[in-house]
């Protein structure tokens, strides 16, 4: 099943590895399902079925002009799960992908889901407002879009990727090759999708979706995440999702799927074997 068609005819690229209990993985902006490869490989080797797909507009999936709102993206997730015939699934979202998890739980009533995970996730609300003072100012979201419009390659290679992985003058937790890969992957995406999704993940309020998490939920986030600050995301999600488990990775950046890859894999496997 390398490709499937969603209800509006968009083609999504799907990776389906292994056999066993299904784990469906949604990726972060502006990357692709490949960001999950290390974890997906370990899941498959441990006896799980790892399913990861490129979000519409990103990676190898189709690039329609519209559909970059979370209702549509949650419907895409539902279509992937239906096409893969999954039951008793664990769904795990990274960064922007956490929004798909939250909206799926409310919009599709958590159908066929027995557990959920939010990793470096934007849930519950990124935007700074009067009732969300720890959020990201709207002007900062506009700066991101301005940087992309002005010079997309430069923005992703020299601004986005280093911050994503916590690379700076003093610390270099990843190689230049990783930064180059992230840039190449980001620039595969539709420019329209890339810009629209800044508004989607930056301005969508998932707080009303939190009561729909009625399954065991694992939340993992780095305390040094400068892309999605932990106070407005993971800690707030933990307070809003009854019975959730929050695991904070001290000193880790947003891209802990790479910088703390082994630990993340171990924590996911532990959670799945709870």
Q: 17 — phi, psi (to 5°)?
A: -115, 135
DSSP string, 151-185: -HHHHIIIIIHHHHHT--SS---S-HHHHHHHHHH
| Catalytic residue ranges | 95, 225, 254
Paired tokens of 201: 């993940």
E strand or H helix at 259: helix 256-259
Quote the DSSP letter at residue 60: T
Question: Between the CA of residue 206 and those of 183, 267, 271, what are the distances in Å?
Answer: 28, 25, 24
Cα 245 to Cα 239: distance, rounded to the nearest angstrom:
10
């Amino acid at each position: 099943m390398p490709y499937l068609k969603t209800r509006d005819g968009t083609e999504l690229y799907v990776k389906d590895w292994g056999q066993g209990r299904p784990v469906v993985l949604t990726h972060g902006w502006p990357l692709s399902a490949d960001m999950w490869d290390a974890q997906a490989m370990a899941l498959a080797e441990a006896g799980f079925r790892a399913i990861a797909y490129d979000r519409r507009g990103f990676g190898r999936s189709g690039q329609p002009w519209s559909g970059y709102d979370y209702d549509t993206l949650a419907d895409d997730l539902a279509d992937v799960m239906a096409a893969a015939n999954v039951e008793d699934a664990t769904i795990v979202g990274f960064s922007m992908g956490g929004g798909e998890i939250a909206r799926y739980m409310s919009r599709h009533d958590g159908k066929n889901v027995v557990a959920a995970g939010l990793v470096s996730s934007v849930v519950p609300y990124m935007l700074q407002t009067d009732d969300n003072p720890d959020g990201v100012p709207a002007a900062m979201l506009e700066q991101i879009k301005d940087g992309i419009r002005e010079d997309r390659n430069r923005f992703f290679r020299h601004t986005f990727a280093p911050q994503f992985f916590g690379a700076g003058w003093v610390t270099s937790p990843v190689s230049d090759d990783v930064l180059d890969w992230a840039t190449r992957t980001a620039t595969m995406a539709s420019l329209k999708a890339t810009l629209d999704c800044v508004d989607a993940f930056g301005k969508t309020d998932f707080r009303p979706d939190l009561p729909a998490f009625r399954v065991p939920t694992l939340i993992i986030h780095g305390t040094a995440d400068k892309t999605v600050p932990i106070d407005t995301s993971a800690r707030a999600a933990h307070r809003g999702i009854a019975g959730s488990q929050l695991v904070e990775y001290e000193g880790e950046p947003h891209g802990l799927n790479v910088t703390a890859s082994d630990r993340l894999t171990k924590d996911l496997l532990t959670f799945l074997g709870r």
